[in-house]
Amino acid sequence: MGSHVKKKLLIGMVAVALAFGIYVLGRPSRFHVRRPARAELSLAPDFSLPDLRGGYLKLSAYRGRVVLLHFWATWCDPCREEIPHFIELQNKYRAQGLQIIGISMDDGPEPVLDYYQRFKMNYPVVMGNAKIGELYGGVLGLPIAFVIGRDGRICKKHIGATDVSIFENEIVNMLQN
Amino acid sequence: MNRTFDNPKVVFTVWVLSRLLVCVAFAYQTSLIPSSRLISPDELAKILQSSKGETPLMIQVGSHVLYSQAHIPSSEYIGPASTEDGLQRLRKRVEPLPRNRFVIIYCGCCPWSHCTNVKPADNALRALGFTNVKSLYIANNFGADWVEKGYPVAKGD
């Protein structure tokens, strides 16, 4: 096979892979399941969990802000797809009172810290455990996100990857209340 | 140029595309596991209830935090097989076993097509010569497809 043919073949393969990538990233989520949850409108269980800086984060310290609590892990593809959108939302609505908090369900903090720094995450991330999972009704699949109002009550629960526009609509509504 | 790569979204997109190319090149996806090498939750539950036949060695290849909350009774935690540590623990655990041992691997961390742990575990076991390996097909997640269906569950380490 001539070298120019090989080169064309390689370019073709890369183009197909990129097109596939754009399709995958651009398609709407198929995994969003709205659960009319029993948990909705109940008080979000308070917790104090270790953050990535050696301190502890307490949920109740954020009372008065709208909180998006995101259960995720570095090895979870759908979780990672949501994070750049959350970084944007945090930037966009910080002044109005939005606070996003990530709860990593990784087994240890090393990959989380690496990911946090590499992707310049701009909101706090704490290390989760089985107890916090159970407090929030069982985190037996990722991602799971809770939208919590200024009064500390859970308003929405999203299981699975969720379109960012859904989060944004809910957050905007709650910030105005 | 440097500014472009300061943007987390650009960094993330480049990273995702590079991963995607790797996935395409190395057939990393769970959806590429043939159906003959899958077992459904219902089939596994029947095997667990039955006193006949070989009891499978069941290995959870996901997160310990998820395992601690709920896992299949008598299944063993190995760790995420998407990491080199997890794969090493898996290889070490099965190394002394006969290659025809019935082994079931499962994760349930994410929807099936997004699971990054099962396929590497399946690849590793095949590479070691195991001939009777099944992957538990969990369509959505372990909570929805196993716990909420009422199949047996254990908690803790």
pLDDT digit string (tens) for chain A, length 177 residues: 556 666 777 676 666 666 655 544 444 333 333 444 444 569 999 999 999 999 999 999 999 999 999 999 998 889 999 999 999 999 999 999 999 999 999 989 999 999 999 999 999 999 999 999 999 999 999 999 999 999 999 999 999 999 999 999 999 999 997
CB A145 within 8 A of CB A158: yes
Give the pair of three-digit tokens for residue A154. 């859970």
pLDDT for B1 equals: 52
Report d(CA B5, CA B22) in Å as an integer: 21
Q: How far is B82 from chain A (nearest CA, A)?
A: 7
Residues of B in contact with A78 (CB under 8 A): 110-111, 114
Substitution target in A11, A22, A107 with the highest count of B β-carbons within 10 Å is: A107
Instruction: Collect all residues of chain A within an 8 Å Cβ-Cβ radius of residue B60.
Output: none
Beta carbons of B80 and A17 less than 8 Å apart = no
The per-residue DSSP string of A28-71 comes to PPS--EE---TTTTSBPPP-EEEBTTSSEEEGGGGTTSEEEEEE
How many CB atoms sit inside 10 A of residue B109's CB?
Answer: 32
Given a cut of 70, the residues of chain B with pLDDT beneath it are 1-6, 12, 14-28
Tens digits of residue pLDDT in B4-33: 666 777 776 766 666 555 544 444 578 889
Query: How many Cα atoms within 13 Å fall on the side-chain side of residue B48?
Result: 17
pLDDT of amino acid A173:
96
Quote the minimal CA–CA distance from A19 to chain B in Å: 10
Bridge-based pairing of strands B133-136 and B103-106 is: parallel
Mutate which of B110, B115, B147, B157 to disrupt the A interface (most A C-beta within 10 Å)?
A: B110
Give me the phi and psi of B109, to 5 degrees please.
-75, -35
Other beta carbons within 10 angstroms of residue A64's beta carbon come to 11
Q: Which residue of B has its CA nearest to A86?
A: B9
Tell me which fold the domain A32-176 belongs to. Glutaredoxin (3.40.30)
C-alpha to C-alpha distances, B7 to A79, B2, B39, B138, nearest whole angstrom: 19, 9, 43, 35
Quickly count: other Cβ atoms within 10 Å of residue A38's Cβ: 9
Instruction: Give strand pairing partners of B104.
Output: B58, B134
Residue ranges of alpha helices (H) inside B6-117 are: 8-26, 41-49, 64-69, 84-94
Domain boundaries, chain A: 1-30, 32-176
Structure tokens at A42: 């109940």
| CA-based nearest residue in chain B for residue A73 | B63
Token reading at B91:
């290889």
B79 CA: distance to closest CA in chain A (Å): 8
